[in-house]
Amino acid sequence: MKIALSIAGSDSGAGAGIQADLKTFSALGVYGCTTITAITAQNTKRVAEIFEVSPAMVEQQIRSVMTDMPPDAIKIGMVYSRQIIDVIYQSLKKSKVPIVLDPILAAGTGASLLRDDAFDPFVSKLMPICTLVAPNRIEAEKLSGMTIKTESDSIEAARKIKKLGAENVIVKGGHFGASSVTDLLLDRRGRLTEITNPRIEIKESHGSGCNFSSAITAYLAKGASLEDACRMANEYVHIAIKNAVRVGRGLPVTNPLSAIYRDASRYRVIAELQAAVEQVSTLDGFYKLIPETQTNFAYALPDATDISEVAGVRGRIVRIGNTAVPASYIEFGASRHMASAIIGYMQVNPAFRSVINIRFNDKLVNVCKSLFTVSSYDRSKEPKGIKKREGSSVSWGTMQALSKNPRADIIYHRGDIGKEPMITVFGRNPGEVVTKIKAILENY
């Protein structure tokens, strides 16, 4: 397994610093080691206090890692004092592995994280030993001594920083367009590469710089080229910022584990739904429950708010003679109506994430009432504005039924002009839905 070392400060709020780096290393499949340079008492609103770790202890931490588990790449974050800078320089000046320098001069909340007398040695000692220096726009302005307002300013700043001894420079977060954000990479050969993403509607987040530099470090540790490492880190952090969480009263915190959590959740949703579709399709007599518009079976990601976050059967489960057959594979966004139903249902009962629709008749409704908690709604009372929006009717109806009985796990309606009546069966997961369908069949 590849190893990455983070030399940085500790953030008690765990949004930035060592804690953010370890989350990123783990999410990207790299074993993370640490050297703590300072202990900060901070949260999402402010840095309350900074306790500097002794230079001797910083040196011992680096030596302990390097002599037993030599890293494949190193990240340097908060260094705080000239004494710590000197120790890091002496420890790493002969290193042969990639070193990423995140020039942390201040916290996102405004507190200074580098002493005034440490700036000059920071530039003269650390920058020349690093493979990549990764300042944001404000840090780039400080390092280059110029104001950055345009893309050409950012390019000029990168060139000035490179002349200070940096082998490669990436200036992060250039807001030069109304709808995009650009990172500018200036490599050792003088080649410029732009990495652009759509702007995320978030004013600022806590930890994004740490996540970005540690992601580059992780990818370099795994053997990626510098440009590829920067591109992949950019994409990774874009997702982390997009999924930023509000855990305090100050800045939202970037979520470096969101991508791995999302991918794992999507896999589980598809796997569980696929197994349940196969099971329900082979139930004796299930074909009798399939309505004229056919059946779909849906399963939502936790906290789903959009149909793209709900998996369903592409083409639905169809009746062919006396059998039920899935028309195609499972995919996210495949079932607009059942996705709308479960998203609406989750607003009242978040633990219930799966739903299937079956045909309506009075006998089936009575069976359901004898087994489960049932509610209904009247589609003829649906507002005109709802009718005009594709997929909104089912969500509206589900909410109407739950307003009468929030505990209902079976909801039905008797149709409307051009609309087939329907029963929807809800469960915490697809397996629970299948169990309910079995019970309905046994009593039908």
Domains of the chain: 3-255 (3.40.1190.20), 262-443 (3.40.225.10)
Torsion 327-331-333-337 (CA) sign: positive
d(CA 37, CA 55): 8
Q: Which whole number is the average pLDDT over 89-109?
A: 92
The per-residue pLDDT for 334 is 94
Region label for 274, one of left (φ > 0), alpha (ψ between -120 and 50) or beta (otherwise):
alpha
Beta-sheet strands, E only, within 149-282: 169-174, 180-186, 192-198
pLDDT surpasses 90 at 202: no
Is 205 in contact with 254 (CB distance < 8 Å)? Answer: yes
Higher pLDDT, 270 or 381: 270
Torsion 380-383-388-393 (CA) sign: negative
Task: Provide Rg for the chain, Cα atoms.
Answer: 28
Higher pLDDT, 259 or 59: 59
Report pLDDT digits (tens) over 11-57.
999 999 999 999 999 999 999 999 999 999 999 999 999 999 999 99
The per-residue pLDDT for 178 is 59
Lowest-confidence segment of 175-179, 363-367, 423-427 by average pLDDT: 175-179
Helices (H), 254-391: 258-281, 336-346, 362-371, 384-388
Higher pLDDT, 197 or 420: 420
The per-residue pLDDT for 328 is 94
Question: Which residues are 185's β-sheet partners?
Answer: 170, 193
Determine how many CB atoms are found less than 10 A away from the CB of residue 97.
18
The per-residue pLDDT for 339 is 95
Q: Which whole number is the average pLDDT over 311-322?
A: 96
Report pLDDT digits (tens) over 330-389.
999 999 999 999 999 999 999 999 999 999 999 999 999 999 999 999 988 878 766 655
Is 276 in contact with 311 (CB distance < 8 Å)? Answer: no
Q: How far is CA 156 from CA 26, 103, 320, 439, in A?
A: 35, 18, 68, 71
d(CA 46, CA 250): 8
DSSP state of 9: E
Higher pLDDT, 416 or 138: 138
Q: Which whole number is the average pLDDT over 113-126?
A: 95
d(CA 136, CA 272): 43
CA 182 to mean position of chain CA atoms: 20
The per-residue pLDDT for 204 is 74
Under DSSP, is residue 204 helix (H, G, I), strand (E, B) or coil? coil
Q: What b/e sequence results for 30-44 when a residue is b if at least 16 CB atoms lie within 10 Å of its CB, and e otherwise?
A: bbbbbbbbbbbebbb
Would the pTM count as exceeding 0.85? no
Question: Which residues are 51's β-sheet partners?
Answer: 39
d(CA 219, CA 229): 5
Torsion from C-alpha of 105, 111, 114, 119, nearest 10 degrees = 60
Q: How far is CA 118 from CA 89, 147, 177, in A?
A: 13, 22, 35
Mean pLDDT of the chain: 93
Report pLDDT digits (tens) over 216-253.
999 999 999 999 999 999 999 988 888 888 899 988 89
Per-residue pLDDT band for 260 (boundaries 50, 70, 90) equals confident
Region label for 145, one of left (φ > 0), alpha (ψ between -120 and 50) or beta (otherwise):
left
Look at residues 277, 210, 272, 197 and name the one whose alpha carbon lies nearest to residue 239: 197
Question: Which residues are 376's β-sheet partners?
Answer: 412
Is 94 in contact with 27 (CB distance < 8 Å)? Answer: no
Per-residue pLDDT band for 120 (boundaries 50, 70, 90) equals very high
The per-residue pLDDT for 292 is 94
Give the rounded percent of residues in the chain with a pLDDT score beyond 70: 97
d(CA 63, CA 91): 8
Report pLDDT digits (tens) over 147-161.
998 889 999 999 999
Look at residues 143, 151, 148 and name the one whose alpha carbon lies nearest to residue 127: 143
The per-residue pLDDT for 111 is 80
Look at residues 136, 132, 156 and name the one whose alpha carbon lies nearest to residue 146: 156
Contacts of 182 (CB under 8 A, 6+ apart): 151, 154, 174, 176, 194, 195, 196
The per-residue pLDDT for 70 is 97
pLDDT surpasses 90 at 261: no
Give the rounded percent of residues in the chain with a pLDDT score beyond 90: 79
Higher pLDDT, 349 or 395: 349
Structure-block tokens of residue 392: 């909104």
CA atoms within 13 A of residue 34's CA, in its CB half-sphere = 18
